[in-house]
Structure 1
Amino acid sequence: MVNEVRESWKVSARRTCFALKVGRSLYAYKARRDDQAALKKRIKEITETRVRYGYRRVHVLLRREGWAVNPKRIYRLYKEMDLQLRNKVPKRRVKARLRDDPTVATCVNQTWAMDFVHDQLATGRKLRILTVVDTFSRFSQVINPRFSYRGEDVVQALERICSEVGYPKAIQVDQGSEFISRDLDLWAYQKDVILDFSRPGKPTDNAFIESFNGKFRVECLNLHWFMSLDDARAKMEAWRRDYNEVRPHSAIGHRTPIELMKCSGDAVSA
């Protein structure tokens, strides 16, 4: 503001400061705040290994390491980096990711997304359909309909997939009963796979699988009657292969997932 007044009236800095009741020392002050990059990096490292630590415990650890910082600065950086603790996950969720991670997948098998879709046979009997997709290549690993699912059924399906295409580093899921089961948590712990849970009531946290399921419903489920479970499996598998091998995807340059995986040199198992 002082500079604006000076430019408009062409007066000295001294007279301008006097007219606006602003101290000349304040006008000449230059911020001396040092770069926070090193401190931010260390805070990030601590919260990645101690996932339930709030900013106060982080501050204690930093002071022990010799950082001359007060808790107010740690709190400001903690919020700026969006490290606030989210809602707690159930007990024994050893391989759960508890903080938001906006990192976008850059290779195949870095992040998968998994969910259930509901439909029914022509007789009216309900179906639950497990869908899994790779968020980088958009490759659909499996579409598996069953009349019911338990945690151990999900584990069996994942183990069958992983034996063909390899294990992912993380799987994005909601907090459905099958996904928070002890069976899936134990499997993830043994295979070193992170279960990345979306927040309750926030389907956009798992946007990739929501988009995939929308296409699956419009292009397959809404176009067919399923006479039996075997009929449903055959028709859904045919659609999955078309999705992987024929259907162009605008998000990956109008290529198919198979083409993208071949270009990146990854193994292909349709």
Structure 2
Amino acid sequence: MIQVWSLSISRACGLVDLARSAWYRGDTAGKQAQADAPIIDALNDIIEDHRRWGFWKCFGTLRNRGHHWNHKRVWRVYRAMGLNQKRRTKKRLPDRERQPLEVPAQMNHTWSFDFMSDALYSGRRFRCLNIIDEGTREALGVIPDTSLPAARVVRELKQIGSVRGLPERIRIDNGPEMLAQVFTDWCKDKGIELAYIQPGKPNQNAYIERFNRSFRNELLDPYLFTTLSQVREMSA
């Protein structure tokens, strides 16, 4: 309208309901993008190596690298780039069917295992991985240690399997070690069925629960241990 009909800026802005300040401001979006380019490049440099880092780790790294941009400005650019991560929510377990507690007719058909926790005399916590054969009620392994991740569980099962052979099925609860991909992938590769009990129903894994009670009553509760080697020696 200004160029074609030679209207004044004030009248043209009034006709299209545009504030005159917006007219005089010009292309701020392009100027803003140009001003934020160094921040975008710096964030891309960090995210390239650390894709799961959140905002504050990225911001702290920028400060360590000598950048002094205000955190609110960096947060605006961070969000505009779509880097803000969703908060992790509690993992929902799939529905578990009730597993019948039957006595296997032969050994090595079904194993079950579970973890117990206790403490040394010094107060240091440790855990025990207890593994039994449900057919014979034989304790295949009692492994005490301060850390027993899923990879360690797989290693212990491999060691027992090299001597005894692997079972057709393993009855377990829904602990993080039993849900870990390294454990489930190994069982799938070996053709082992995983019989998960229903959450909050330890009676569905009664054989290993019975063993755990005896293990606590006869070993963990009556004795004071100062080292893990004493626990391993007594439980061997």
Distance verdict in 2 for CA 1:236–1:199, change over 3 Å: same
* Aligned residue number for residue 199 of structure 1: 198
Q: Hey, what's the Cα distance between the residues in 1 that align with 2:161 and 2:119?
A: 28
Asked if 1 retains the 8 angstrom alpha-carbon contact of 2:100 and 2:204, the reply is no
* Aligned residue number for residue 236 of structure 1: 235
Q: Secondary structure at the match of 2:161?
A: helix
2:94 to 84, 88, 94: 88
Residue identity (%): 34
Asked if 2 retains the 8 angstrom alpha-carbon contact of 1:98 and 1:196, the reply is no
Amino acid at match of 1:88: P
Q: Secondary structure at the match of 1:220?
A: helix
Q: Hey, what's the Cα distance between the residues in 2 that align with 1:185 and 1:197?
A: 12
> Cα offset for 1:98?
5.1
* Aligned residue number for residue 113 of structure 2: 114
Say whether residues 1:131 and 2:137 are aligned partners: no
Greater displacement, 151-160 / 99-108: 99-108
Matched length: 144
* Aligned residue number for residue 149 of structure 2: 150
> Cα offset for 1:99?
5.7
Amino acid at match of 1:160: Q
Greater than 6 Å deviation, 4+ residue runs: none
* Aligned residue number for residue 164 of structure 1: 163
* Aligned residue number for residue 218 of structure 1: 217
Q: Hey, what's the Cα distance between the residues in 2 that align with 1:236 and 1:166?
A: 22
* Aligned residue number for residue 11 of structure 1: none
Asked if 1 retains the 8 angstrom alpha-carbon contact of 2:97 and 2:198, the reply is no
Q: Secondary structure at the match of 1:178?
A: helix
* Aligned residue number for residue 174 of structure 1: 173
Amino acid at match of 1:154: V
Which stretches in structure 1 are left out of the alignment for 5+ residues? 1-86, 90-96, 238-270
Amino acid at match of 2:216: R
Distance verdict in 2 for CA 1:218–1:181, change over 3 Å: same
> Cα offset for 1:102?
4.7
TM-score, length-normalised on structure 2? 0.58
Q: Hey, what's the Cα distance between the residues in 2 that align with 1:102 and 1:127?
A: 29
Q: Secondary structure at the match of 2:118?
A: strand
> Cα offset for 1:204?
0.7
Distance verdict in 2 for CA 1:102–1:220, change over 3 Å: closer
Distance verdict in 2 for CA 1:103–1:214, change over 3 Å: closer
> Cα offset for 1:101?
4.0
Q: C-alpha deviations, 1:98-136, integer Å up to 9, x for none? A: 563454311000111100011111111001100001111
Greater CA radius of gyration, 1 or 2?
A: 2
